[in-house]
Amino acid sequence: MFNPDIIKPENLVYKRTSVLTDNVMHYCPGCGHGTIHRLIAEVIEEMGIQEKAICVAPVGCSVLAYNYFDVDSQGAAHGRAPAIATAIQRLYPDNHTFTYQGDGDLAAIGTAETIHACNRGENIVMIFVNNGIYGMTGGQMAPTTLIGMKTATSPYGRDVALNGHPLKITELLADLPGTYYVTRQSVQNAASVRKAKKAIRQAFENQKAKKGTSFVEVVSNCNSGWKMTPVAANKWMEENMFPFYPLGDMKVDGQKVSK
Amino acid sequence: MAIKGAIVFDVEHCKGCGVCIPTCPNQVIAFSKNVNNKGYNYAEAVNDNCIGCTSCAMVCPDGVITVYKVKL
Amino acid sequence: MAKELKLMKGNEAIAEAAIRSGCDGYFGYPITPQSEVMEHLMAEKPWEKTGMVVLQAESETASINMVYGGAGAGKKVMTSSSSPGVSLMQEGMTYLAGAELPCLLVNVVRGGPGLGTIQPSQADYFQTVKGGGHGDYRLFTLAPATVQEMYDFVFLGWEMAFKYRNPVMILSDGAIGQVMEKLYVTDYTPRWTNEEIAEKCPWSTYGKPSTRKHNIITSLELEAPKQEEHNHKLQAKYAKMEEDEVRYEMVNCEDAEYVFVAYGSSARIAEKAVQLGREKGIKVGLLRPITLFPFPKKIIAELSTKVKGLLAVEMSAGQMVEDVRLAAQFRCPIEHFGRFGGVIPTPHEVLEALEEKIIKA
C-alpha cells in the first residue's frame, strides 16, 4: 500500500508511548478510557517524569488502570483515590501523584474525598472521566447521568422526581479555593484529543510548580452502556452531553474563567 | 513540496472500533474484510493518500497506529 | 539509649512515640476519647523536627485511606480513632490487610454499640481480632495496659507491621488513653530515607526507577484460584504470627488455683483483685494477654489443666471469653465477668465474681 521507503525510523511521527505497558487494555472497543490513558502516558513520557509518577486507580471500568501505566500504582477502594493520593503526594512532595477516576467513583461514593482533597489544594493531578453511566457494573445510573437518559437503573429515563439531578461536580470544584486548574475536555476527535492532552500537560506542569490541585474532567463515551456503536456514541455525546457539560477551562492559574 | 505519509496498524491489538475511520481527512482507512485472532474486523489502510497527519493515531484508544511522514 | 522521664496521657504517649519512632505520617480525625493524639502532634509540629506529616482528614474513611496510600508507598504511617470512627475505617482495614500493607492503627475504645458513650470499654475485641471488615484477614493486635506500653507498643507495632507486611492495631481503651502516668521516652529514631525505603520495602510505590518493573499495590485479583493462593499466603503469615509472636504477662500464676484472664485496663483491675484475693487466702493469679491476635492459646490451654477455674474479666458483655474457652477446651470451669457500656468494674466486684461464679459454683 505505502512506499516502503516512508516506513523508516527517521520518518516516524507517532508511535505508542513506552509509558504504557504492552498489556492489552480490557476496555470495550472505542472506549475513551484507552485514549485518555494514552494521553496521560504521553505527557509523563514527554515531561520525563516516569520515575516520579504514581498512579492511583479507582474502582469501576478503569480499576485495572495500573496494569496499563508503566508507573508505580495503587488501586484504591471505591471513591477513595483522592485521600490515597493526598498521602502519597504529601509524603513524596517531589513526585507526581495522579488519580484516575470515573463518575461513580469520584462524584458519588467518593464525593467527600474529592471535595476535601480539592479544597485542601492537594498538589495532585485528578483525571475525571465522565461518561454518565456505571460501565463496569453493567450500565446503571451515575451521578452524572443526564435527565431522561436511560440506564439499567433508570430504564424509563432519569426522572428528576425519582432520581434527582445530574451533578456538575467540576463546576462545584472550580469554586473551591484549593483548585488551581479546572477544565473539561473530550477525546472524540483529533482536535479534542490534542486539546485534552494540552490540558493534562498543564495539570502536570502545575503540579511540578507545586500550585495545588489540577482537575481535568474528560467527557467520554460508553458505547456499550449507551448501546451504540463507538462512532454513533461519540456523535450522541457531542449532541447530548456537551450542551449539559460544556467543554473548556473553568479555572486557570487559580482564577475562574468568566464565560 | 509534497507530503507523503504512511500508517502501520498493530492488527492484533486493534479492536475494530472504527473511531479512526471518520477522523481521516483523506479517507485512507476502512474496516478489513478479514478478522484478527480476536475476531475483530480490524482497521486497515485502503489507499496511499495518507499525509501523516496523525489524526487517526490521536483518536485510537488502543494506540495501535504508528505514523510516518516524509516531505518529498 | 538515653531515656527521659515524662508525665503524659496515654493518648499523648502514642503521639510522642510516633514522633520519636520515625513515623512518616499521621492521618486522623478527632473523636473522644482519643483526640489528644492529634492535638499533641499538632502542638509538637513534628514536620519541623523530623519531617513527619500530620494531617487532619475530613473523615475516618479518608484517614484510613491516607494510611493506605502512605503505607503502599513504603512509609511508616498511622492513624488513631475510637470505636465509632474505627467502625468507619473497617473498609480501609480490609484493603490494607488484603494488599499486605504495614501500618499502625490505634483504637482507644469507648462504649457502644452505636454512638454509645465516651467512657472506656473493651467491646471492640471481636471487631479487632475477628476481622471487622470483610474477607479472611487478621490485624496483629497489641493491648497496652499502661501509658508506658502505649509508648512502647508504637515501636513494637512498627517492628511487627514491617516484619509481616500487615496492619498492626493497638487496642487500647478510654481509661489508658486518658490516664496520666509517668513514662520513659527514648531518643529520636530517624525516619527512613527514601533509599532505605527502596531497600526495605522493594514492593512499595515510591516511583519506578528504570531498573525495575512497576510496583502495584492492590487487593484485587480477578482470578479465583490466584485469590485463593493469596489467601493461603495470608493464612500462612497469620499462622507464623501465632507461632512466633504471642506475648503475655503472668502475675502470681505459679501456685494459682484460679486465674483471671484480662487485658488492658481490666488487667490492671484484675491485678488488684489478685492482691485482694491473696489477702483472703484465695490462690489467684492473672494472665494478661498482650497480643490479642495472636492470642495466647497455648498458655491458656496449659493453665486449664492445672487450675480450678478461669475468669475472663473484660469491659464487654463477653467477647475474649470465647477465645479463652476455645483455648481451654472446657478442661476447667471458664466464666466471664464484665461491666460494659462505659462502666469500669472495681477490683472487689471482680473478686466477688470469681467467688460467686467459680469458687462457690
Q: Which domains does chain A have, with CATH numbers?
A: 9-256 (3.40.50.970)
Across chain A, mean pLDDT equals 97
Chain C touches chain B, with at least 3 Cβ pairs below 8 Å, answer: no
Across chain C, mean pLDDT equals 97
- Looking at the domain C3-197, which fold is it? Rossmann fold (3.40.50)
Beta bridge partners of C184: C5
pLDDT for residue C1: 58
% of chain A beyond a pLDDT of 70 = 100
A32-68 residue pLDDT tens: 999 999 999 999 999 999 999 999 999 999 999 999 9
- Looking at the domain C248-359, which fold is it? Rossmann fold (3.40.50)
B29-65 residue pLDDT tens: 999 999 999 999 999 999 999 999 999 999 999 999 9
- Cis bond before residue C294 (omega within 30° of 0): yes
Interface of A with C in 168-197 (CB under 8 A): none
Helix (H) or strand (E) holding A200: helix A190-208
Interface A-B, measured as beta-carbon pairs within 8 A, has a size of 107
Q: Does the structure show a pLDDT above 90 at A3?
A: no
Strands C25-28 and C53-56: parallel
pLDDT for residue C131: 82
CATH number for the domain whose boundaries are B3-71: 3.30.70.20
Low-confidence ranges of chain C (pLDDT < 70): 1
Q: Is A26 on the interface with C (CB under 8 A)?
A: no
Q: Does the structure show a pLDDT above 90 at A29?
A: yes
Contact C208 A77 (CB under 8 A): no
Contact A87 C216 (CB under 8 A): no
Q: Does the structure show a pLDDT above 90 at B1?
A: no
In chain C, where the domains are located: 3-197, 248-359
Question: Rounded to 5 degrees, what are φ and ψ at C24?
Answer: -90, -30
Q: Is B51 on the interface with A (CB under 8 A)?
A: no
Residues C84, C308: contact at Cβ < 8 Å? Answer: no
Helix (H) or strand (E) holding A47: helix A32-47
Contact B63 A230 (CB under 8 A): no
Residues C181, C7: contact at Cβ < 8 Å? Answer: yes
SS3 labels along chain C = CCEEEEEEEHHHHHHHHHHHCCCCEEEECCCCCCCHHHHHHHHHCHHHHCCCEEEECCCHHHHHHHHHHHHHCCCCEEEEECHHHHHHCHHHHHHHHHCCCCEEEEEEEECCCCCCCCCECCCCHHHHHCCCCCCCCCCEEECCCCHHHHHHHHHHHHHHHHHHCCEEEEEEEHHHHHCEEEEEEECCCCCCCHHHHHHHCCCCCCCCCCCCCCCEECCCCCCHHHHHHHHHHHHHHHHHHHHHCCCEEEECCCCCCEEEECCHHHHHHHHHHHHHHHHCCCCEEEEEECEEECCCHHHHHHHHHHCCEEEEEECCCCCHHHHHHHHHCCCCCEEEEECCCCCCCCHHHHHHHHHHHHHCC
Contact B18 A30 (CB under 8 A): yes
Q: Does the structure show a pLDDT above 80 at B68?
A: yes
pLDDT for residue B72: 82
**Is there a shared CATH topology between the C3-197 domain and the C248-359 domain?**
yes
Interface of A with C in 65-104 (CB under 8 A): 66-67, 69-77, 80, 83-88, 90-92, 95
B4-14 residue pLDDT tens: 999 999 999 99
Crossing angle of the two packed helices C60-72 and A111-120, in degrees rounded to 10: 70
